[in-house]
Amino acid sequence: MRVLVTGGAGFIGSHLVDLLIESHQEVRVIDNFSTGKPSNLERHLNSCKLEIEKGDLLRPDDISDALNDCEVVYHMAANPEVRDWLVTPKDLLEQNVEATFNLLEAIQRNGKVETLVFASTSTVYGEPSVLPTPEEYGPLKPISLYGASKLAAEALMCAYASMHGFGCAILRLANIVGPRSGHGVIHDFIEKLRKNPVELEVLGDGTQSKSYLHVRDCVEGMATAARKVGKKVELFNIGSEDKVDVLSIAKIVKEEMGLADARIKLTGGVDGGRGWVGDVKLMQLDTSRLRSLGWSPRLNSAKAVRETAKALINSTE
């Protein structure tokens, strides 16, 4: 069985490729390398199990070529930016919605794909009144354009899978952290402390509290969902079983950098202490559905943050 991973040179995508090749599967990656890095796949470059195609999901012909002989598709390619000052609505529409539509059209024309696995996000829930939040929670009211773009992609997935008879696992991810990550709060704190070792700016009031999951636990959850989905459309939350606040993350990063005495400067944030407009302040997912299939995370949120901080510090020094 050959597996296609879109965005396979990216942060989560490359860790998924690691797992699939370790499981003796043949993997084809399609990536435009706008944010993905060839170095993320370097350990497999001489493997007969890996094939890499430079291509763009905004070009339909690239997708059709990449799908040849593939029975399973993991759709990881996306613009992952939530902060509105770093991304435009047009970027999110093209890279998260139009690219997904092009992939689904190609799958429909190909007719041989049996399973599609989609990396969605917890931000589709918006600000739920139930924590931990189950997959059945609704209505879904995302408060960021990123969350809206992923919810639109989910809707397309459901429709195409139902109409054309392939299995689809939609995975709503918590904050995924680990080696190779190039954005997010841990990465940002490390970069800020490198520039100013005596003071760390923290966006918001510091009480924002969310679930953080190590990337290895994440991709193992993805593989579990792919094996179990069959010919149905299934929703799965993937996250740790707890959450950690931003001030605790700041303390962990300071400790791992040997800068425990650095001052914390809180910006106060917007709209009740959020880091930015569209920032979900509290997030924790109910993962009992995926855990019932035999998956469970090895690390809790704080340990995942600490392991990530160590890895990122060591990789950039």
Task: Collect contacts of 18-22 with beta carbons under 8 A, ≥24 apart.
Answer: 18/43, 18/44, 18/219, 19/216, 19/219, 19/220, 19/223, 20/223, 21/47, 21/49, 21/50
Known catalytic residue at 74 = no
d(CA 88, CA 76): 20
Q: Please, which residues have CB within 8 angstroms of residue 152's CB and are 6 or more apart in sequence?
A: 96, 97
Peptide bond into 132 cis (omega under 30): yes
Q: Please, which residues have CB within 8 angstroms of residue 46's CB and are 6 or more apart in sequence?
A: none
In angstroms, what CA-CA distances link 298 with 36, 109, 120, 189, 216? Answer: 26, 40, 21, 24, 9
The amino acid present at 127, given as its one-letter code, is E
Q: Please, which residues have CB within 8 angstroms of residue 184's CB and are 6 or more apart in sequence?
A: 175, 177
d(CA 163, CA 7): 25
Looking at 74, 125, 137, 146, which residue is catalytic?
146
d(CA 202, CA 267): 6
Between β-strands 244-245 and 209-210, what pairing exists: parallel, antiparallel or unpaired?
antiparallel
Report the 3 state secondary structure along 68-112. CCEEEEEECCCCCCCCHHHCCHHHHHHHHHHHHHHHHHHHHHHCC
d(CA 174, CA 299): 14
Which of helix, strand or coil describes residue 134?
Answer: coil
Active site residues: 146
